[in-house]
Structure 1
Amino acid sequence: MHQSSSSSLGGNGVDDNKLQCTDHMCPVRIHWHVKNNYMRFWRVKLTISNYNLRKNYSDWNLVVQHPGFSKKSIAYSFNATTLPTVGIENEVALFWGLPYYNSELTEAAAGGGGGGGGFGSVTTDIILEKDLDEFTLMNGWALPRRVYFGGEECQMPFPDAFPMLPNGGFRIRSSPRHRRRYLFFLIFLVVIWLELRL
């Protein structure tokens, strides 16, 4: 577990920022996952996980800057609205929890339950209408441009740090060994066809 500096100790001398041990060692993780790429829409799963073992985030809010919010969008398990923007090329959406359902992002379980979908996390599906003239999944860049949780900007990696999403159809690459088998099978079928014709 990560222990932060003594400046984060509460009045009782207990560290309020005790975190689960993770690769990123951040108290909150925002996970944006493109689940489906439909003809006219995208389906995105947005999960917010709390890795802080001693802190709940009551009345949390999340601001996401993403080109997909320039068109109609629907969030199923969060309250959501688009914010007016001036001088920003991408639309911005504000998300917050539904009262008595997920308005409190509870502290992580000591046993590691803060991962996606478990104790210490909230999640929603978002439908984004496509605008093929403005933004597509070309070159695999489908992540938000900026994310703010509770008013603080989350560190976003550069687009080059992510693998590209496939843009074409599925293609089987065969080895020379497989090609020989296919060729043998094709010759076998031709021989059988010729035998049946005679």
Structure 2
Amino acid sequence: MTYDPESFSSALAQLLGALTSHEDRAVQDAVAACGPALPEAIRQGPERFHEDVLWPWNELIETSVSVAYPDLDRASCNHLVFLYQHADFIERHLDALFTRYEGHFASSDKTRWLLQVYQHQLLTGTVPVWPPQPRGYWHPRTQSLTFWLGVCTHLQQFYYAQPDALMQDFLTLAQTREADSPPSSPADAAPTQEERTP
């Protein structure tokens, strides 16, 4: 079968309509209506699939953000577009960092709250007073809000193969964790005089 971009575009438009309906049956019908077009796009390889499927989707997001926020400066718009295009990427990394450095409890709540604050910062240029009073379980505890908002930006840089700032964030988190941990003693160390005295 030869690849036909026009029929594929039509099938994708139908699929998009079905996806926005949030009805499982509509999505299944739309995928079936794609016929062999979607599998063929996949068989063409990742580069072609990206060009024909993912690139138009990313363009749709970029245009939608620009229409929704026409007065937003270019840098903030770029960050907001990335947030919408790759929210799952940012969310997974933040959740993993909160879990690792603050514990599993409320890591998802902290992630959701931080992403809301990050979006608000991109849209308005303002952030909440830090530290908040009272401090809720959904507020990060290991670093400042400025630090965590920086992590959001650095994740975008990391995605585009610029890891230095994010690596520095990891180092900061690790050093803070190490400084907050009680010193450990070697397992084979001899007991002190106080430890031997009953």
Q: Same fold (TM over 0.5)?
A: no
TM-score by length of 2: 0.25
Q: Which has the higher helix share?
A: 2
Higher RCO, 1 or 2 (CA under 8 Å, sep at least 6)?
1
TM-score by length of 1: 0.25
